[in-house]
């Protein structure tokens, strides 16, 4: 188990009750147990430390009752009920009771939790021995054998290292047979805790005389305390965590139970924390009407402080967490004794460095230099409650997800901590399973055939049962990040599925969805799968024409659309479609509008079509009632249709492709086996979920593997690196432009994502020079692949392949997939020869929706799928796509190797991107035209391009005969170059003069008026 904390910059808000002081409770209970009569201690403390003290007292024969919020203690002589008495894991209980156990009427053995066997207590044992208490251990650690008998008294020396040692001597001294003097030697740490002990002893009628310098305590013998009724004050040590989380994030927080922020007035040994917090700039005010202290601000940068930790030793962890993001260097002096607590708290807090902090320890002082923001990390709490809570508070304001070991340690001192943080809207929860597996595991047992029997939503149901608290989904918006566990995702899917049923969606009905990458898309896709409906994704970039086409062709009954995304009102555009001339051809009866823009009023658009009902998603889903039995009864069969996806339309009208649950699950599992992926991975999804790369090899693959799916709403390279780092993305499948942007950002100075291990480049051939560069810059394996909407992946390289094969080819056939190269007559070509690429496999679709003509063209007579690509397969079985059949340039009977020339030009320092297409020619039929995007700060002339090709010994007949410099190449949303648009442009152009290498200007100055430098700006295509 571990504590998961999701960082945020969102406002923390709410009210929490500050618990009662555990320091007062320990002392009051112990003193009441020794006072003949009945004491009432109001303000019940349920800290486990205090419960351990209660348990020890009861084991020693003391009657301790609980009456509402009051401890009722009937004090008197200790009469142990058993020989062995456990102090649990409370250090205070151990130290205080070691001497007091001698007052029992028989010998006892004090034990504790296992790690207490390493807790050094020798200095206290020797001081007790000076007082005449026989408490011994051969290791100077528990278990301790304590002989019964009153102490003799005398002069006792004790080091001032730990306050509990001094308090332990003071508590037992009044019961000695002779006068006792306790003298503190050396540096006196934690004096405020000793002062509290003296005050509490005085409250119970015990006399302790303290010297002016506070180092000598004189205690008269044979004293007897009297019973007392008292109320425990609020615990500043617990309040500190609420105040700290309110300091690290914008806040409107009320801590009830505190009535002062003046450390002189507040009765608590850690009251000095209030002064330090004010010095750091925390705006605390007493709100008498609300009965507490309020912190309210819109974000602040704390100020550095200098702190003597002898005054507030237990506050070091939380203060260092606050100082980690302060504006300057904070110094914590005299921290050595803090290393003797439940853990070495000084070195424990050096883990802030793993979170991007800047912390040093020189043996005496801890120095914390503030940074702008911490990042998520896997951390250890060392089973220390203060360390756990302090690092959790730091992580709550960090970027990304953090995990902490020993998640229940907080119960020792502040059992309400997790509830309080939840009440303040800090995202923390305990999850089962390891926080970070130490070894990679193989994929879950199973085969592709077995995976094919699992439908989409059944994957989610499975993981919700096996790992309900495991992370399932991360929704990375530009300005915030949401998350869902498998249990939460499963419940949301049930609710959405129930809503679809209430709206009349039946098995086989199409549900269209036009949403960006977000949690809503994932929930809707799974909800459709749960009840046997077919999800029909529509790209968010599509406008009215494309959306109307998809709705008409799909015959969708229900549409889910965003209200506003990236400045476009998708709901208004849909309203226009449903009220326009094409409305009669549509089957839409219901529209659900999902609100994606927090802080903006959500108003449904007016729609003139009375036959279509409109609902706000959040309202409609609120009234849907999920009946698990009803939903499970509609679970589809594996061979039922699950997805209707339209091709990207790079070559014409989009075509509808139907896939079943079986083909999608099988396709995902085939990639899992080929790479291989395993249960320690996290799948980062920048590709649109409305495209097969994001849908199948992002979302569905994560479902099948049972690992987190990390979806990013709007592409931005810098944000992508943040998300990959914060959420430990290990696997990405996306097109070349996504890889290019990541590489550029890292080369520009951004840290590379440490967990990323595999990037599968799809959609178009990745330039080999880019793949080699990306492997070096990102530190991840770049793997080539080939796949289509119609077939899923057919070929894929792996990280274990030789580098040149991994990123220099499109991989080898996946299991159960067959590849072949044939000539124009369908005859196999010789190995290594170029030809038409065809494939056969278990994930190939059955045909295009409502287009039997196109379906017939797509399949050869023997059923193999014609990809429309030219390719070669080498002797080792690696596939290399050389171009599209329709992209072939036939120059006077000579075929230009387009892909090879593009790869070569891409390596030129002036070329940032390149695409070559055919340009009509009356004499030769076609010539090559190169469209080039220049690298920043570079130029390229037509002549310079010729010279470069000549230097690389390229046949002159393959040289492009025109150079067009453009701002960008037209691509669709998944990165494929829309070459048909380039061909349309090239059809209006003429060849440039083919210069010989003896031309005098081949080395001359760049000619900015050269026709090849007419820049053309491509607008994103909206019609194909």
Element of type H or E holding 306:
strand 306-308
- The CATH number assigned to the domain with range 2-17+234-431 reads 3.65.10.10
Question: Residues near 525 by Cβ (< 8 Å), separated by ≥ 6?
Answer: 456, 513, 535, 537, 689, 695, 699
Q: What is the pLDDT of residues 209-220, one digit of tens each?
A: 999 988 999 999
Residue 611 CA, chain-centre distance (Å), reads 43
pLDDT at 340: 63
Q: What is the pLDDT of residues 662-715, one digit of tens each?
A: 999 999 999 999 999 988 889 999 999 999 999 999 999 999 999 999 999 999
Query: Which of these, 432, 378, 435, 430, lies nearest to 409 by C-alpha position?
Result: 430
With a cut of 50, say whether residue 820 has pLDDT above it: yes
- More reliable by pLDDT, 627 or 993: 627
Q: How confident is the model at residue 583 (pLDDT cuts 50, 70, 90)?
A: confident
| Contact predicate 965/985, CB 8 Å | no
Determine the 3-state secondary structure of 480 from DSSP: coil
Q: How confident is the model at residue 898 (pLDDT cuts 50, 70, 90)?
A: confident
Determine the 3-state secondary structure of 140 from DSSP: coil
Of 398-407, 425-434, 516-525, 570-579, the least confident: 425-434
pLDDT at 513: 97
Q: What is the pLDDT of residues 223-252, one digit of tens each?
A: 999 999 999 999 999 999 999 999 999 999
Residues making up the binding site for 3-phosphoshikimate: 22, 27, 163-164, 314, 341
- More reliable by pLDDT, 347 or 397: 397
Q: Residues of the chain with pLDDT > 90: what percent?
A: 58
Q: What superfamily in CATH does domain 888-1013 come from?
A: ANL, C-terminal domain (3.30.300.30)
Average pLDDT, the chain: 88
pLDDT at 430: 85
| Contact predicate 75/37, CB 8 Å | yes
**What is the pLDDT averaged over residues 632-637?**
94
> In whole angstroms, how far apart are CA 376 and each of 5, 395, 684, 718?
8, 6, 17, 17
| Contact predicate 565/516, CB 8 Å | yes
Question: What strands lie across the sheet with 401-404, from one edge to the other?
Answer: 378-379, 401-404, 2-6, 427-431
Residues making up the binding site: 22, 27, 91, 119, 163-164, 314, 341, 345, 386
**What is the pLDDT averaged over residues 69-86?**
92
With a cut of 60, say whether residue 91 has pLDDT above it: yes
Rounded Cα distance, 724 and 882, in Å: 32
Which one of the listed residues 235, 314, 384, 571 is annotated catalytic?
Answer: 314
Q: What is the pLDDT of residues 761-778, one digit of tens each?
A: 986 667 778 888 999 999
| Contact predicate 302/280, CB 8 Å | yes
DSSP conformation letters of 521-540: HHHHHHHHHHTT-EEEE--T
With a cut of 90, say whether residue 896 has pLDDT above it: no
With a cut of 80, say whether residue 634 has pLDDT above it: yes
Determine the 3-state secondary structure of 433 from DSSP: coil
Residues making up the binding site for phosphoenolpyruvate: 22, 91, 119, 164, 345, 386
pLDDT at 550: 92
pLDDT at 893: 64
With a cut of 80, say whether residue 1018 has pLDDT above it: no
In CATH, the architecture of 488-699 is 3-Layer(aba) Sandwich (3.40)
Q: Which residue has the tokens 């190995």?
A: 831
Q: What is the pLDDT of residues 183-199, one digit of tens each?
A: 999 888 778 889 999 99
**What is the pLDDT averaged over residues 573-591?**
89
Q: Which residue has the tokens 């997939």?
A: 817
- More reliable by pLDDT, 522 or 437: 522
Tokens of 1002: 């081949």
With a cut of 50, say whether residue 902 has pLDDT above it: yes
Q: What is the pLDDT of residues 327-349, one digit of tens each?
A: 999 999 988 767 666 678 888 88
| Contact predicate 314/269, CB 8 Å | no
pLDDT at 846: 85
**What is the pLDDT averaged over residues 995-1020?**
37
| Contact predicate 825/810, CB 8 Å | no
Of 17-21, 112-116, 443-447, 848-852, the least confident: 443-447
End-to-end alpha carbon distance in the chain: 50
**Bridge partners of residue 965, in order along the sequence:** 932
- More reliable by pLDDT, 501 or 585: 501
Q: How confident is the model at residue 1021 (pLDDT cuts 50, 70, 90)?
A: very low
pLDDT at 922: 76
Fold match between 2-17+234-431 and 488-699?
no
pLDDT at 241: 96
Question: What strands lie across the sheet with 812-813, from one edge to the other?
Answer: 481-485, 471-476, 709-712, 683-685, 731-735, 758-762, 781-788, 792-796, 812-813
**Residue ranges per structural domain of the chain:** 2-17+234-431, 22-153+164-205, 488-699, 715-887, 888-1013
Element of type H or E holding 253:
strand 251-256
Q: How confident is the model at residue 45 (pLDDT cuts 50, 70, 90)?
A: low
Question: Residues near 637 by Cβ (< 8 Å), separated by ≥ 6?
Answer: 455, 661
pTM of the model: 0.65
In CATH, the architecture of 715-887 is 3-Layer(aba) Sandwich (3.40)
User: Domain 22-153+164-205's class?
Assistant: alpha beta
Q: For residue 862, with 0-12 CB atoms within 10 Å meaning exposed, 13-18 middle and 19 or more buried, which class applies?
A: exposed
Q: Residues of the chain with pLDDT > 70: what percent?
A: 92
**What is the pLDDT averaged over residues 914-938?**
89
Determine the length of the chain: 1024
Rounded Cα distance, 874 and 872, in Å: 6
- More reliable by pLDDT, 966 or 771: 966
pLDDT at 607: 80
DSSP conformation letters of 320-379: HHHHTTSSSEEEEE--GGGGGSSS-HHHHGGGGGGGT-EEEE-SS-EEEE--S--B--EE
Element of type H or E holding 430:
strand 427-431
**What is the pLDDT averaged over residues 820-845?**
93
pLDDT at 621: 86
pLDDT at 600: 64
In the residue annotation, 314 being an active-site residue is answered as yes
> In whole angstroms, how far apart are CA 317 and each of 17, 326, 357, 998?
22, 15, 14, 75
Element of type H or E holding 896:
strand 894-896
Q: Which residue has the tokens 């072939």?
A: 888
Determine the 3-state secondary structure of 869 from DSSP: strand
Determine the 3-state secondary structure of 295 from DSSP: strand
> In whole angstroms, how far apart are CA 629 and each of 294, 458, 490, 626, 632?
48, 14, 14, 9, 5
Q: Which residue has the tokens 């942007």?
A: 741
DSSP state, 419?
A: H
**Bridge partners of residue 785, in order along the sequence:** 796
**What is the pLDDT averaged over residues 145-173?**
92
**Bridge partners of residue 496, in order along the sequence:** none
């Amino acid at each position: 188990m571990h504590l998961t904390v999701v960082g945020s910059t969102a406002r923390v808000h709410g009210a929490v009750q500050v618990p009662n002081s555990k320091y007062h409770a320990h002392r009051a209970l112990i003193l009441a147990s020794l006072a003949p009569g009945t004491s009432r201690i109001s303000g019940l403390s349920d800290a486990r430390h205090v419960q351990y003290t209660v348990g020890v007292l009861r084991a020693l024969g003391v009657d301790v009752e609980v009456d509402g919020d009051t401890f009722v203690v009937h004090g008197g002589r200790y009469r142990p009920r058993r020989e062995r008495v456990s102090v649990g894991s409370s250090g205070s209980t151990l130290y205080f009771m070691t001497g007091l156990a001698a007052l029992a009427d028989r010998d006892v053995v004090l034990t504790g939790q296992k790690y207490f066997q390493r807790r050094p207590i020798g200095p206290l044992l020797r001081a007790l021995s000076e007082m005449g208490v026989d408490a011994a251990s051969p290791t100077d650690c528990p278990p301790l054998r304590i002989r019964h008998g009153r102490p003799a008294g005398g002069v006792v020396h004790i080091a001032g290292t730990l306050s509990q040692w001094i308090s332990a001597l003071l508590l037992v001294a009044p019961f000695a047979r002779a006068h006792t003097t306790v003298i503190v030697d050396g540096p006196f740490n934690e004096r405020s805790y000793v002062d509290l002990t003296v005050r509490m002893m005085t409250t119970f009628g015990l006399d302790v005389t303290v010297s002016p310098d506070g180092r000598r305590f004189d205690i008269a013998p044979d004293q007897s305390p009297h019973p007392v009724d008292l109320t425990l004050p609020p615990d500043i040590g617990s309040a500190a965590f609420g105040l700290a989380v309110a300091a690290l994030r914008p806040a409107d927080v009320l801590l009830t139970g505190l009535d002062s922020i003046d450390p002189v007035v507040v009765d608590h040994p850690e009251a000095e924390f209030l002064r330090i917090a004010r010095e750091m700039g925390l705006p605390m005010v007493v709100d008498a009407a609300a009965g507490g202290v309020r912190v309210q601000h819109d974000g602040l940068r704390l100020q550095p402080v200098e702190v003597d930790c002898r005054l507030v030793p237990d506050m070091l962890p939380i203060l260092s967490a606050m100082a980690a993001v302060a504006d300057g260097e904070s110094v914590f002096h005299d921290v050595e004794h803090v290393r003797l607590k439940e853990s070495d708290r000084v070195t424990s807090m050096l883990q802030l460095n793993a979170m991007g902090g800047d912390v040093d320890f020189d043996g005496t002082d801890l120095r914390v230099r503030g940074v702008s923001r911490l990042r998520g990390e896997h951390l250890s709490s060392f089973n220390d409650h203060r360390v756990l809570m302090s690092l959790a508070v730091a992580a709550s304001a960090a970027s990304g997800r953090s995990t902490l070991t020993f998640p229940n340690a907080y119960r020792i001192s502040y059992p309400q901590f997790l509830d309080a943080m939840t009440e303040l809207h800090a995202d923390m929860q305990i999850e089962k399973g390891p926080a970070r597996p130490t070894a990679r595991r193989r994929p879950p047992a199973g085969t592709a055939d077995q995976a094919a029997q699992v439908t989409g939503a059944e994957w989610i149901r499975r993981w919700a049962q096996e790992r309900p608290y495991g992370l399932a989904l991360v929704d990375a918006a530009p300005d915030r990040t949401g998350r869902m566990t498998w249990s939460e995702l499963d419940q949301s899917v049930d609710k959405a599925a129930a809503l679809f049923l209430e709206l009349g969606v039946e098995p086989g009905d199409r549900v269209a969805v036009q949403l960006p990458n977000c949690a809503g898309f994932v929930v809707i896709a799974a909800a459709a799968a749960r009840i046997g409906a077919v999800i029909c994704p529509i790209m968010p970039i599509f406008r009215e024409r494309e959306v109307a086409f998809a709705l008409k062709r799909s015959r969708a009954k229900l549409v889910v659309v965003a209200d506003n995304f990236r400045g476009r009102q998708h709901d208004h555009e849909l309203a226009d479609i449903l009220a326009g001339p094409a409305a009669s051809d549509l089957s839409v009866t219901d529209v659900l509008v999902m609100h994606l823009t927090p802080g903006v009023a959500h108003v449904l658009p007016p729609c003139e079509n009375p036959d279509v009902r409109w609902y706000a998603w959040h309202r409609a889903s609120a009234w849907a009632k999920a009946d698990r039995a009803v939903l499970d009864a509609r679970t589809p069969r594996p061979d039922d249709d699950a997805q209707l996806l339209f091709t990207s339309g790079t070559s014409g009208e989009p075509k509808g492709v139907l896939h079943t649950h079986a083909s999608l699950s099988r396709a995902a599992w085939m990639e899992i086996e080929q790479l291989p992926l395993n249960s320690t991975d996290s799948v980062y999804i920048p590709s649109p979920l409305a495209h097969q790369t994001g849908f199948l090899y992002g979302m569905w693959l994560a479902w099948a593997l049972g690992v987190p799916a990390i979806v990013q709403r709007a592409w931005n390279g810098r944000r992508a690196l943040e998300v990959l780092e914060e959420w430990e993305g290990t696997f990405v499948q996306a097109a070349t432009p996504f890889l290019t942007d990541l590489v550029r950002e890292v080369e520009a100075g951004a840290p590379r994502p440490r967990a990323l291990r595999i990037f599968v480049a799809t959609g178009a051939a990745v330039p080999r020079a880019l793949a080699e560069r990306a492997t070096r810059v990102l530190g991840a394996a770049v793997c080539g692949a080939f796949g289509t909407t119609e077939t899923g992946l057919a070929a894929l390289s792996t990280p274990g392949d030789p580098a040149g094969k991994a990123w220099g080819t499109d991989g080898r056939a996946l299991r159960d997939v067959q590849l072949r190269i044939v000539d124009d007559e369908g005859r196999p070509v010789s190995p290594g020869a170029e030809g038409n690429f065809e494939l056969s496999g278990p994930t190939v679709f059955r045909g295009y929706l409502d287009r039997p003509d196109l379906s017939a063209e797509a399949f050869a007579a023997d059923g193999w799928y014609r990809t429309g690509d030219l390719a070669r397969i080498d002797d080792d079985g690696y596939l290399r796509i050389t171009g599209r059949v329709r992209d072939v340039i036939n120059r006077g009977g000579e075929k230009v190797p387009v892909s090879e020339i593009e790869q070569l030009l891409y390596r030129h320092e002036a070329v940032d991107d390149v695409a070559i297409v055919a340009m009509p020619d009356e004499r030769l039929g076609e010539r090559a035209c190169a469209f080039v995007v220049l690298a920043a700060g570079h130029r390229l002339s037509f002549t310079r391009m010729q010279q470069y090709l000549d230097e690389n010994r390229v046949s002159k007949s393959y040289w492009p005969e025109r150079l067009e410099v453009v701002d960008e190449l037209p691509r669709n949303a998944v990165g494929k170059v829309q070459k048909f648009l380039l061909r349309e442009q090239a059809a209006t152009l003429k060849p440039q003069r083919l210069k010989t290498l003896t031309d005098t200007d081949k080395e001359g100055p760049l000619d900015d008026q050269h026709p090849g430098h007419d820049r053309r700006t491509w607008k994103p295509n909206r019609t194909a």
